[in-house]
Chain A
Amino acid sequence: MLFVPGNNPGMIRDAHIYGSDSIMFDLEDSVAITEKDAARFLVYKALTTLRYGKKELVVRINDLSSGLGVADLEAIVRAQPDVIRLPKTDSAKDVIECEREIERIEREAGIPVGKTGMMAAIESANGVLNAREIAFASKRLIGIALGAEDYVTDLKTTRSPEGIELMFARGMIVNAAKAAGIMALDTVYSDVNNEEGFINEATMIKKMGFDGKSVINPRQIAPLHAVFTPSEKDLMKARAVMDAIAEANARGSGVASLKGKMIDKPVVARAQYLLEMAERAKTMTVEEI
């Protein structure tokens, strides 16, 4: 997910060319308080005019307590991106209140109720502790995300290259998301010149179970995809598992084995997931060409 400042026309224009799976237009932290109205017009006009192909389109609004969030929703729900990202989510109540506003606007605008997806960013100690209730708060939620900068400030610490200060939050968020059957999205890696550090972090969060990561610079997209795209060796194993299953089914046997080892359900599920990921990565590459 590529973060794009909502008041920058050049970046909004070019956002689709870098190969990210999704684009997040930001009306929140990257926009000066005096430019909130201008950014809202710009993102609304871009969404309703430009074509971004099959990219998932996300808009981060200002939180509702800022006094700007509802005004953002009035414009953005009508522009119909795929997902609205709610920042600073501390509790299920925040999600429910935002959903109520989205639903009201969908009704007023004649948009099918439920069409607008939501994503909640958790950015405080309280939010992390409430991750489970947040993840289950709305059927519109496609995922929850960690917003690390505000979170570490809340913890009264700072970010380190190893990310030790984020271990608990990441663990909570990824578990809550998986329990709710939605995606877990990791926070940005701010040091864009440290590619090795970025790859290490991406490798770690993938291993933890995260489904993706936010990026602030297009340079981070290719290395991130390299981490998340299954290797040929893993794909061969996955295909062998699926072949063995197909063969067992053809024999009418409920038990499949590969190289003398029985294949149980989680192995099949992982193989399927891996092949799906590879297929998606292939689709993205073809689309970008």
Chain B
Amino acid sequence: MEIKKTGVAGTMESSDIIVRIEPKETEGVELKLESAVMQQYGRQIEKVIRETLEELGVTRAYVDAVDKGALDCTVAARTLAAAYRSAESTDYVWKNGGAK
């Protein structure tokens, strides 16, 4: 997936995270993360963002995230929304889940 423009998703509300993705000319994902629970969960949040982008095939991007105590599923959802918006794409890929 090619990041074409700035894409943002999420809010500053408690339990949410704002993920901002911007185009980058060189290879690699450069991530800047701010979180109230940085000490405890910073590495985990970063892992979820990086893995989500990797699954989408995003290899060049600046990512700026401000976390307000989001669960992993929220971090992944906001990263996906920001990435698709950045790529100006609606070719979503949904895997089978299993809520039930």
Chain A residues close to B by CB (< 8 Å): 8-10, 12-13, 37-38, 41-42, 44-50, 52, 57, 71, 74-75, 78-82, 109-111
Given contacts A10-B15, A81-B99, contact A74 B73 (CB under 8 A): no
Give B7-60 interface residues, CB cut-off 8 Å to A.
9-10, 13-16
Q: Is the CB of B16 within 8 A of A10?
A: yes
State whether the Cβ of B77 lies closer than 8 Å to any Cβ in chain A: yes
Interface string of B59-81 (1 = CB under 8 A from A): 00000000000111110111011
Nearest opposing residue in chain B for A75, CB measure: B94
> Interface residues of B, CB < 8 Å — how many?
27
12 extra A-B contacts, CB within 8 A, seeds A57-B100, A79-B94: A8-B13, A9-B70, A9-B74, A10-B14, A42-B78, A45-B80, A46-B74, A47-B97, A50-B71, A79-B97, A79-B99, A80-B98
Measured in the bound complex, the distance between the Cα atoms of B57 and A97 in whole Å is: 35
A41, A75, A111, most chain B CB atoms within 10 A: A41
Residues of chain A contacted by B92 (CB below 8 angstroms) = 71, 74-75
Q: Is the CB of B73 within 8 A of A46?
A: yes
Q: Is the interface of A mostly helix, strand, loop or mixed?
A: helix
Nearest opposing residue in chain B for A81, CB measure: B99
Measured in the bound complex, the distance between the Cα atoms of B74 and A46 in whole Å is: 7
Chain B residues close to A by CB (< 8 Å): 9-10, 13-16, 70-74, 76-78, 80-81, 84-85, 90, 92, 94-100
Q: Is the CB of B77 within 8 A of A44?
A: yes
Cβ-neighbour of B97 out of A12, A48, A74 (below 8 A): A48
Cβ-neighbour of B100 out of A44, A49, A74, A81 (below 8 A): A81
Residues of chain B contacted by A111 (CB below 8 angstroms) = 96
Q: Is the CB of A13 within 8 A of B78?
A: no
A-B contact count, CB below 8 Å?
87
Nearest opposing residue in chain B for A54, CB measure: B100
Measured in the bound complex, the distance between the Cα atoms of B90 and A9 in whole Å is: 22
Nearest opposing residue in chain B for A77, CB measure: B94
Residues of chain B contacted by A8 (CB below 8 angstroms) = 13
Q: Is the CB of A38 within 8 A of B9?
A: yes
Q: Is the CB of A13 within 8 A of B15?
A: yes
Nearest opposing residue in chain B for A11, CB measure: B15
Q: Is the CB of A9 within 8 A of B99?
A: no
Measured in the bound complex, the distance between the Cα atoms of B13 and A50 in whole Å is: 20
Smallest CB separation, B7 vs chain A (Å): 10
Q: Is the CB of B15 within 8 A of A48?
A: no
Residues of chain B contacted by A46 (CB below 8 angstroms) = 73-74, 77
Residues of chain A contacted by B71 (CB below 8 angstroms) = 9, 13, 49-50
Residues of chain A contacted by B10 (CB below 8 angstroms) = 38
Q: Is the CB of B96 within 8 A of A41?
A: no
Q: Is the CB of A45 within 8 A of B99?
A: no
7 sampled A-B residue pairs with Cβ under 8 A: A41-B9, A49-B73, A50-B71, A57-B99, A75-B92, A78-B97, A80-B100
Given contacts A10-B16, A49-B73, contact A109 B96 (CB under 8 A): yes
Q: Is the CB of A37 within 8 A of B73?
A: no
Residues of chain B contacted by A81 (CB below 8 angstroms) = 99-100
